[in-house]
């Protein structure tokens, strides 16, 4: 295992300390590193809280700030944070309008956020993301997995919360954005969890894992490495079939690197995805390319499509100021 | 070789097409893909032109836009663009106030930009970046190499050009920012150039290349893999000794991933670098962490420190709107 770390046990703490130090104008670190909180809360706004296992950076802490999340709870690598963390984050971020939990659909996360919700004495609601069309159930999930589309849900909900929507409206919006959003991924190499010290899975020199999850868990099948065009064709085919949007619908295209894929390759994939979308009569209204929802040092990427309408497009364009996403301010 | 590409010969073209499609609000692609140009030029402003071999994305095309570059010329992977490209870019971007070439100190780039400057019929000046303290001469350079500090030069010159400074003032400023900026890198793995199909160099499972260049060229020496703290100590030691800034000086810290290093590790390195800087009495006024000046799929990172003053700090903070850097607008 080759990593830029000190002791394996200190990776998460030191990474969070580095993050909080560099982005001290945007975030503050909670007691015992239980959560990363937006430095300047907006009183009267519903608090948006997310979190999950670490190793997917910049998700979620990198999305804390104006126009997106109010707090994020980092678990150990690929391990759910505890209900205690979630409760502490919600208490630190809730200014009276209640808290909305945004949870990727993995059993550990869903269970722990539900426990935290029960412990809350103030208003709380939950949105669960499950945008991954690759598999219906998997190693860590009952039902579809929540993957890179979670970024889209967090961005749009963040904008709507900033504009003053209440808790029930935000929950409904979150479910709507999640339904408009589909993703699928492919891995060219495994990730290596620091505590394990070796790759999570083994792939031959000419193989790829089609439909891989963001913890390196299996997807649809292991196949021979194909061209960018062929990979994009399969992923976009699955996404668009499932999404069942009308041709002409303006789309948001997110090409997301898993951690070890260079920008040059992500833009080759963006070009392939664009040609397929346009070939099927869709318009790319907005695009985002980069490594945002990662799987440590895994090589590969996911494609995400969100079918936009005027409301969701405006929410995407609204100002955001976080460590990993920033525009309009 | 495992890459998300189609034919090796099409990687650059398809990557540029994907880039231009996703960021069509910011950039336009020149004829025959000779250059990437800022979509909306600002008449009367000095045109800032950079470029170099591809494989370092988002450098340079990702830095084209308001407050940074006016055009960037992409060569083939790790190969200088041609004088013809540079001339076309300058002609397309120059609105009458002249053109400033920002050139990383590699022999091919320096020679070709000098030829382009001779061919120009309008005012032109050149700033050469050579921030890498690792080696005095190397495979592709006479004198120090220009590496991640080039981002800092491009950002600050871009802000100053936007504010209306003239060509000679910008050249002087560029030289000043370059002198204030020092970098050093380390590689944990080699990069693989698509056309070569195999790693540029071989590193043992327990080795790292200290002082590596951004083309995978050798650094100071090959040593056993060390802890993040020890790596940061050696790199920051070399940087700060060379920079010879007074303790108390406010600094910009750039922790730059080489392409295959996850954010979690970059923030561990940021934390290590921060502790060293603070331990020596420096203040981190600004920080930037991410993969900005890459070496394809190389694992590793570089550290860059710029000694700031009021002028350079304000230039760093000035609005920028490019594909890879955006704030203040």
> Same domain for A101 and A22?
yes
What CATH number corresponds to the domain at position B89? Answer: 3.40.50.10440
Residues 6 or more apart in contact with residue A172 via CB below 8 angstroms = none
Residue B286 DSSP label: E
Domain end: A151, A180, A209, which one? A180
What is the per-residue pLDDT across A36-79, written as a single tens digit (0 to 9) for each? 999 999 999 999 999 999 999 999 999 999 999 999 999 999 99
Range of the domain at B77: 8-180
Q: What is the ipTM of this complex?
A: 0.97
Q: How confident is the model at residue B37 (pLDDT cuts 50, 70, 90)?
A: very high
Q: Is A254 on the interface with B (CB under 8 A)?
A: no
> Same domain for B175 and B276?
no
A4, part of any domain = no
Q: Is the pLDDT of residue A142 over 90?
A: no
Note if B56 is an active site residue: yes
What CATH number corresponds to the domain at position A256? Answer: 3.30.1180.20
B327, part of any domain = no
- Give the number of residues written for chain B: 329
B284, part of any domain = yes
Q: How many C-beta atoms lie closer than 10 Å to residue A230's C-beta?
A: 13
Structure tokens at B145: 């190499």
Q: Which of helix, strand or coil describes residue B259?
A: strand
A96: buried, middle or exposed (CB in 10 Å: 19+, 13-18, 0-12)?
Answer: exposed
> Same domain for A14 and A144?
yes
Residue B127: what are its φ and ψ, rounded to 5°?
Answer: -115, 130
> Same domain for A262 and A284?
yes
> Same domain for A156 and A146?
yes
d(CA B279, CA A68) in angstroms, rounded, equals 34
Q: Which residue of A has its CA nearest to B18?
A: A271
Q: Which of A20, A188, A263, A313 has the highest number of chain B CBs within 10 A, making it the mutation to test binding with B?
A: A263
Domain end: A180, A207, A228, which one? A180
Instruction: Tell me the DSSP string of B10-74.
Output: GHHHHHHHHHHHHTTTTEEEPGGG--EEESS--TTSPEEEEEEEESSTTTTGGGBEETSBSEEEE
List the A250-257 sheet strands across, edge first: A221-224, A207-210, A181-187, A300-307, A250-257, A283-290
A171, part of any domain = yes
Secondary-structure percent of chain B, ordered helix, strand, coil, rounded to 5: 35, 25, 40
Q: How many C-beta atoms lie closer than 10 Å to residue A107's C-beta?
A: 13
A326, part of any domain = no
> Same domain for A174 and A154?
yes
Which residues in chain A are contacts of B283 at CB distance < 8 A?
none
Secondary-structure percent of chain A, ordered helix, strand, coil, rounded to 5: 35, 25, 40
> Same domain for B37 and B61?
yes
Q: Is B17 on the interface with A (CB under 8 A)?
A: yes
Q: Which residue of B has its CA nearest to A289?
A: B22
Instruction: Tell me the DSSP string of A18-56.
Output: HHHHHTTTTEEEPGGG--EEESS--TTSPEEEEEEEESS
Residue carrying the six token digits 């909306």 = B40
What is the per-residue pLDDT across B211-241, written as a single tens digit (0 to 9) for each? 999 999 999 999 999 999 999 999 999 999 9
List the A36-38 sheet strands across, edge first: A27-29, A36-38, A71-77, A47-54, A99-104, A124-129
A135, part of any domain = yes
Q: Which residue of A has its CA nearest to B273?
A: A18
Percent residues over pLDDT 70 in chain A: 100
- Report yes or no: B124 and B98 within 8 Å, Cβ to Cβ: yes
Number of domains making up chain B:
2
d(CA B9, CA A273) in angstroms, rounded, equals 19
d(CA A130, CA A103) in angstroms, rounded, equals 9
A328, part of any domain = no
Q: How many C-beta atoms lie closer than 10 Å to residue A253's C-beta?
A: 22
Q: How many C-beta atoms lie closer than 10 Å to residue B136's C-beta?
A: 12
What is the per-residue pLDDT across A169-178, written as a single tens digit (0 to 9) for each? 999 999 999 9
> Same domain for B80 and B64?
yes
Q: Is A244 on the interface with B (CB under 8 A)?
A: no
> Same domain for A172 and A185?
no
Nearest to A271 among B18, B228, B266 (CB): B18
Residue A49: what are its φ and ψ, rounded to 5°?
Answer: -120, 130
> Same domain for A85 and A166?
yes
Domain end: A180, A201, A217, which one? A180
Average pLDDT for chain B: 97
The pLDDT value recorded for residue B59 is: 98
B1, part of any domain = no
> Same domain for B256 and B140?
no
Q: What is the mean pLDDT of residues B120-138?
A: 94
d(CA B94, CA B292) in angstroms, rounded, equals 26
Q: Is the pLDDT of residue A120 over 90?
A: yes
> Same domain for A147 and A29?
yes
- Report yes or no: A288 and A254 within 8 Å, Cβ to Cβ: yes
CA terminus-to-terminus distance, chain B? 40
Residues 6 or more apart in contact with residue A196 via CB below 8 angstroms = none
Q: How confident is the model at residue B119 (pLDDT cuts 50, 70, 90)?
A: very high
Residue carrying the six token digits 């999570």 = A200
Percent residues over pLDDT 90 in chain A: 98
Q: How confident is the model at residue A141 (pLDDT cuts 50, 70, 90)?
A: confident
> Residue A15 and residue B264: Cβ atoms within 8 Å?
yes
Nearest to B264 among A55, A228, A262 (CB): A55
What is the per-residue pLDDT across A275-294, written as a single tens digit (0 to 9) for each? 999 999 999 999 999 999 99
């Amino acid at each position: 295992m080759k990593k830029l770390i000190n002791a394996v046990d200190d990776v998460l703490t030191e990474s969070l300390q580095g993050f909080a130090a560099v982005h001290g104008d945007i975030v503050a670190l909670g007691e015992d590193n239980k959560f990363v909180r937006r430095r300047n809360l907006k009183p009267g706004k519903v608090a948006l809280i997310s979190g999950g296992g670490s190793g997917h950076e910049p998700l979620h802490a990198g999305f804390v700030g104006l126009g997106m999340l109010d707090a994020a709870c980092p678990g150990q690598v690929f391990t759910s944070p505890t209900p205690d963390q979630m409760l502490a984050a919600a208490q630190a971020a809730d200014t009276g309008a209640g808290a909305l939990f945004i949870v990727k659909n993995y059993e550990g996360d869903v269970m722990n956020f539900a426990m935290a919700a029960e412990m809350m004495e103030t208003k709380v609601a939950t949105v669960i993301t499950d945008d991954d069309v690759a598999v219906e159930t998997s190693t860590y999930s009952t039902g579809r997995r929540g993957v890179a589309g979670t970024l889209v849900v967090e961005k749009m909900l963040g904008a709507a919360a900033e504009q003053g929507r209440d808790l029930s409206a935000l929950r409904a919006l979150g479910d709507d954005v999640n339904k408009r959003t589909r993703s699928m991924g492919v891995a060219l190499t495994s990730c290596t969890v620091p505590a394990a010290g070796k790759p999570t899975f083994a792939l031959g020199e000419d193989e790829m894992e089609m439909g891989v999850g963001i913890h390196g868990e299996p997807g649809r099948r292991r196949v021979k490495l194909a061209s960018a065009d062929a990979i994009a064709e399969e992923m976009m085919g699955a996404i668009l079939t499932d999404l069942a949007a009308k041709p002409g619908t303006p789309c948001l295209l997110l090409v997301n690197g898993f951690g070890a894929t260079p920008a040059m390759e992500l833009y080759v994939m963006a070009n392939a995805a664009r040609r397929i979308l346009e070939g099927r009569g869709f318009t790319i209204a907005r695009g985002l390319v980069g490594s945002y929802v990662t799987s440590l040092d895994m090589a590969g990427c996911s494609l995400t499509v969100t079918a936009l309408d005027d409301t969701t497009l405006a929410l995407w364009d609204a100002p955001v100021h976080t460590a990993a996403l920033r525009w309009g301010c």
